[in-house]
A and B are shown apart, each in its own frame.
Chain A
Amino acid sequence: MRNILKTGLAAFAAGTLSIGLAQAEPVKVGMITTLSGGGAGLGVDVRDGFMLAVKQVGNDELEVIVEDDARKPELAVQIADKMLQSDKVDILTGIIWSNLAMAVVPNTVNQGTFYISPNAGPSQLAGKMCNENYFNVAWQNDNLHEAAGAYANSAGHKNVFIMAPNYPAGTDALTGFKRMYEGELAGEVYTQLGQTDYAGEIAQIRDSGADAVFVFLPGGMGIAFTKQYAQAGVGAPLIGPAFSFGQDILGAVGDAALGVKNTSQWSKDIDNETNKAFVESFQAEYGRLPSLYASQGFDTANLILSAMEKADVKDKDAFRAALKEADFKSTRGDFKFGNNNHPIQDIYVREVVKEGDVLTNKIIGVALEDHQDAYAAECGM
């Protein structure tokens, strides 16, 4: 989709386009994200969050081009090439999945174009392959899992069963959990990627006598597991990263998710003005509650807008420095970048609760404060 949304156009539809004020060339942002197929919900949320911020500021020097990658790495590369060579964008953003990010990001940043990640944070890009032009506004992939490990300690769990799909993000998740978790493992299981029937694994969990279960099963896999786990009535409490219990899928999981503890860098009840305004305006604009992905899209746009205030995007060094300052009002409250341009931030523990008829999350504690990822030391910046 080639939505050239001139922000001013969206804000002042009645032709009151601001005249003059055009000191510099507009900043062109290319957004490659997943808008079709099974994982489309995440891309739609990132895009909607991003566009909301753009619209609110009404800065018509920001031009956004959005295209669908259909979750195919080859297609993402093709769109990136097009945006870099033909549209000549200044900044790329939008990719949801780590494997697509690994296909697009290294080339983009090596060519001197900025890439600002609203979701994926593979460990390579935080460590050895870190780059001055690559910024991550969301998290390094391990972060939420590390927080889950820390939470399992503080909740007194001593014998946890852990499970993830058998692919790099899955093994990273279990590694991240084990990095913080101090107890015994009741079992460690890798499932097939895309698997949707977990009867076999649930039987193993029941048999293992675990006192808690940690799963990293994003999207549809998480929906299926949570429902089946609740139906099986195993009883051991469920812990996971927010990816399986975000606002985007809670509706599909239903009451089976009630009471699940999950870790997230964002929640709709984080108490600050920016966040309150964000949640309200997102609901007003799109008629649904925002997910963490929407908050990440929103923060990404605001980061870019904050840098535009300070520097011209053509002056790469100045613009980079402006990005690095992260001088924007984040929905998460405090936000700053570490040496590897990944966030240093608090990660919360949330519980799935029901507000009226709507399932949502409520913060019940902080799992890790001012947490930085484990790969920052490997980064030469």
Chain B
Amino acid sequence: MSTALLIEQILNGLQFGVMLFLMAAGLTLIFGVMGLINLAHGSLFMVGAFACAAVAAATGSFWLGLVASLAAAAAAGAVIEILVIRRLYDRDHLDQVLATFALILIFSEGTRWVFGSFPLYLDIPPLLSGAVRLPGGASYPLYRLAVIGVGVAVAVGLYLLISRTRLGMRIRAGESDREMIAALGVDIRTLYTLVFALGAALAGLAGALVGALQSVQVGMGEPVLILAFVVIVIGGIGSIKGALIGSLLVGVTETLGRFLLPRFFAVFIEPSDAAAIGAAIASMLIYIVMALVLAVRPQGLFSANG
């Protein structure tokens, strides 16, 4: 195994982690501010990808598609917040789980109704195709580096938004004391809609960025949703910092586990069996990590609530 390959794998892990962060940031923000478990977050991811693919196909521009993905996911988020989610804030988690589970069914079948049963085409923009040479002899796809860049930018942007702006101040206030913020005369309904739309837009952005690498099809959000939940639970629910650390931890663990475990087993047993057993354990690995983290720290690594 060469160093270049290892560096490439670590970058892959980071890139995957950054994708998860875009999903997890919205989820954890929505949970932290509104106390809501949103299973339909994966559907917003899918909405972003479909919007990007449709607009890119119509206009020929990936960048317009990207804008459309943000707009469509934010709009979808705002609409479901106003129509459905708003009624769930004072319910217990069970009702939220059921309602957002129902939203998944509606979104999936609705999307299939509009776009048909076959996957859509979405490719990376020509500007970002090709690979870059890295020090140490490795080369790495430019698009994936750009994705890492976007993730870092979003993380910094969220940090500034929350720590430096008026909206951020209200969000922080909302996390710590909901009654107080209402008493201060802040329009809490609008604030909640805004936060939900922001989280949705991030999910939509992730969907568009991933859609260009993978396939744009119904149900694409569900595996990511589960992983995003794993991330925010590891990181501590409600904590953006925790979501970032958790995402990178899960991304790197998952990628390196898939890469290294089969090689590790190949030392002892037949390569064919080692590949199968290594893959089996690799697929369980992040759940094992999650169970370990929670066994030691039941509130996750950086719980917002102490």
- Tally A-B pairs: CB < 8 A: 130
- Which of the 9-residue segments B4-12, B21-29, B159-167, B236-244 touches chain A? B4-12
Interface string of B259-280 (1 = CB under 8 A from A): 1001000000001100110111
How far apart are the CA atoms of A316 and B129 in the complex, in Å? Answer: 60
Interface members, chain A 226-256 (any B CB < 8 Å): 227-228, 231-233, 248-249, 251-256
- The segment out of A3-11, A14-22, A134-142, A186-194 that lies at the interface is A186-194
- In the bound complex, residues from chain A placing their C-beta under 8 Å from that of B12 are 197, 199-200, 203
Q: Are B118 and A228 in contact (CB-based, < 8 A)?
A: no
Does B117 interact with chain A (Cβ within 8 Å)?
Answer: yes
- Kindly state whether residue B16 has any CB partner on chain A within 8 Å: yes
**Interface residue? B124 (CB, 8 A):** yes
Q: Which 6 A-B pairs have the closest CB atoms?
A: A223-B215, A252-B119, A38-B219, A224-B214, A190-B279, A40-B117
Q: Which of B143, B217, B259 contacts A200 (CB 8 A)?
A: B259
**Chain B residues within 8 Å of A221, by CB:** 215
Given A38-B218, A204-B259 in contact, is the A189-B8 Cβ separation under 8 Å? no
Q: B70 at the A/B interface (Cβ < 8 Å)?
A: no
Contact A191 B5 (CB under 8 A): no
Contacts of A40 in B (CB 8 A): 112, 117, 218
For chain A, residues 13 to 45, give those with C-beta under 8 angstroms from any C-beta of chain B. Answer: 35-38, 40-41, 43-44
B interface, size bucket: 35 or more
Contact A199 B279 (CB under 8 A): no
* A36-B108, A40-B117 known; A203-B219 Cβ under 8 A: no
CB distance from A350 to the nearest CB of B (A): 19
A191 touches B118 (CB 8 A): no
Q: Which residues of A contact B223 (CB under 8 A)?
A: 194, 196
Smallest Cβ distance from A360 to chain B, in angstroms? Answer: 14
B132 to chain A, nearest CB (A): 12
Report A208 CB to chain B, min CB distance, Å: 10
Residues of A near B120 (CB, < 8 A) are 251-252
Whether B218 pairs with A199 at a CB distance below 8 angstroms is: no
A220 proximal to B (CB < 8 A): yes
Of the candidates A193, A199, A252, the one whose C-beta lies within 8 Å of that of B118 is A252
Q: Which B residue sits closest to A223, measured CB to CB?
A: B215
Residues of A within 8 A of B2 (CB): 207
Contact for A41 among B119, B220, B278, CB less than 8 A: B119
**Would A227 and B213 count as touching, CB distance under 8 A?**
yes
Task: Count residues of A near B (Cβ-Cβ below 8 Å).
Answer: 44
Q: Which residues of B contact A (CB under 8 A)?
A: 1-2, 4-5, 8-9, 12, 15-16, 108-109, 112, 117-121, 123-124, 129-131, 141, 143-144, 210, 213-220, 223, 255, 258-259, 262, 271-272, 275-276, 278-280, 282-283
* A50 to B108 alpha-carbon distance, docked (Å): 26
Residue of A nearest to B266 (CB): A188
A227 contacts B280, C-beta separation under 8 Å: no
Give the distance in Å from the alpha carbon of A257 to the alpha carbon of B120 in the complex: 14
**Most A Cβ at <10 Å: residue of B121, B131, B271:** B121
Q: Please name all residues of chain A whose beta carbon is closer than 8 Å to the beta carbon of B123 when the two chains form the complex.
A: 227, 254-256
Q: Check A224–B141 contact: CB distance below 8 A.
A: no
Contacting residues, chain B, for A255 (C-beta < 8 A): 123
In the complex with contacts A166-B276, A191-B279, A203-B214 CB distance below 8 A: no
- Asked if A171 CB lies within 8 Å of chain B CBs, one says yes
Q: Known interface pairs A188-B275, A192-B282. Does A41 touch B5 (Cβ–Cβ under 8 Å)?
A: no
Can you list 16 A-B contacts with CB-CB less than 8 angstroms, sorted by A residue number?
A: A37-B218, A41-B118, A199-B15, A199-B141, A200-B9, A203-B12, A204-B5, A206-B5, A207-B4, A219-B215, A223-B215, A228-B213, A231-B143, A252-B121, A252-B215, A256-B123
What is the CA–CA distance of A252 and B116 in the complex, to the nearest angstrom? 13
